[in-house]
């Protein structure tokens, strides 16, 4: 359909403004080796693993310390080639470039907000990758490894996310990157270690507090990312925020577990909680509002 609807949709897909190459030395292509022993069965096993690690922090806990087999590194080389050619314009069309551009925006925002901020590394991989937290496969989903201060993304995850009911809108994908950066912030503040000491399951577990805080910190990024004359993001639209909320709800523990979901098994928080904490960060722009450890009203 021509007319305003088309214009709205196009506008909805544009997030980065600016032009030319994207300068950062912190994003690289990785992986390409085969994971020696993948703890996955068929389709059902795949889903369970993604659920356990979705936006998680440590594949080694689940996958063990598997040594990657010797494999082709052509995947890594291809991704690196694509990363090297990324421009800001391409970041609105291409997922790999979008991840790269988002990290630049995140580094800019967090270096403003956090004294002593040290940027993480980001690795974009295909199929499998060896990390400081053990070997991971595409089925791991995006994760942050505190041992090597690196966020890992397999772009094929975004197809999986859409199948789970998430949005494939650009801001929804950027939210995933910002969530993993949230774990990096938590690594710097000590919240990650604190959460890991407070248990990995249950509605008030350390894991749920860590994950909801990462959603909140992603919201804080979004608040600042389109703010000011040098903002890297064009003004965020209501539709784009809706796409993030849709995604946050799609990956809530109760959404994934379905009817009869038992909160005692939660690791990331419910759909409502995930959307709520992203909103707290997005509306306030204040990381101090993201203290999920200071309340039981999660």
Binding site for Zn ion (CB under 5 A): 55, 211, 214
Specify which residues 114 forms β-bridges with: none
Decide whether 82 or 184 has the Cβ nearer to Zn ion. 184
What residue number has its CB nearest to Zn ion?
Answer: 55
Nearest alpha-carbon partner for 213 in 233, 234, 196: 196
- CB of 75 or CB of 206, closer to Zn ion: 206
Distance of closest approach, residue 24 Cβ to Zn ion, in angstroms: 22
Least separation in angstroms between CB 84 and Zn ion: 29
- Between 56 and 170, name the residue whose CB sits nearer to Zn ion: 56
CA 210 and chain centroid, separation? 13
For Zn ion, which is the closer residue by CB, 16 or 144?
144
Shortest Å, Cβ 180 to Zn ion: 7
DSSP 235: P
Instruction: Give the separation between CA 140 and CA 136, rounded to whole angstroms.
Output: 6
Minimum Å distance from CB 82 to Zn ion?
Answer: 26
User: What b-and-e string marks burial along 273-297, b requiring 16 or more CB atoms within 10 Å of the CB?
Assistant: bbbbbbbbbbeebebeebebeeeee
Let me know the angle formed at the C-alpha of 16 by 86 and 79, rounded to the nearest 5 degrees.
Answer: 25
Nearer of residues 100 and 184 to Zn ion, judged by Cβ: 184
- Report the residue number, 88 or 143, with the smaller CB distance to Zn ion: 143
CA 79 to chain centre: 18
CB of 184 to Zn ion, least distance (A): 11
Q: How far is the CB of 182 from Zn ion (least distance, A)?
A: 7
Report how far apart, in Å, the C-alpha atoms of 13 and of each of 54, 111, 228 are.
Answer: 24, 27, 21
């Amino acid at each position: 359909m021509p007319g305003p609807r088309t214009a709205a949709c196009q506008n909805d897909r544009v997030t980065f403004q600016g032009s030319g190459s994207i300068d950062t030395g912190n994003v690289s292509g990785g992986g390409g080796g085969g994971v020696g022993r993948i703890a996955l069965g068929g389709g059902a096993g795949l889903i369970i693993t993604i659920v356990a690690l979705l936006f998680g922090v440590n594949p080694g806990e689940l996958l063990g310390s598997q040594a990657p087999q010797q494999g082709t590194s052509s995947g890594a080389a291809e991704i690196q080639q694509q990363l090297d050619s990324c421009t800001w314009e391409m970041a609105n069309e291409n997922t790999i470039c979008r991840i790269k551009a988002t990290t630049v925006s995140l580094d800019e925002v967090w270096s403003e907000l956090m004294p002593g901020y040290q940027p993480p590394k980001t690795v974009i991989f295909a199929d499998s990758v060896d990390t400081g937290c053990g070997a991971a496969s595409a089925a791991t989903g995006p994760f942050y490894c505190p041992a090597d201060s690196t966020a890992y993304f397999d772009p094929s995850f975004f197809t999986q996310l859409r199948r789970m009911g998430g949005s494939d809108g650009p801001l929804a994908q950027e939210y995933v990157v910002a969530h993993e950066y949230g774990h990096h912030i938590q690594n710097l503040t000590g919240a990650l270690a604190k959460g890991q000491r407070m248990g990995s399951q249950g509605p008030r577990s350390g894991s749920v507090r860590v994950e909801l805080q990462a959603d909140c910190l992603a919201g804080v990024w979004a608040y600042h990312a389109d703010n000011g004359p040098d903002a890297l993001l064009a003004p965020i639209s209501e539709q784009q925020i809706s796409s993030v909320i849709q995604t946050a709800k799609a990956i809530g523990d109760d959404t994934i577990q379905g009817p009869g979901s038992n909160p005692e098994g939660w690791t990331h928080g419910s759909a409502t909680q995930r959307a709520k904490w992203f909103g707290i960060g997005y509306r306030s722009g204040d990381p101090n509002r993201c203290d999920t450890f200071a309340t039981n009203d999660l």
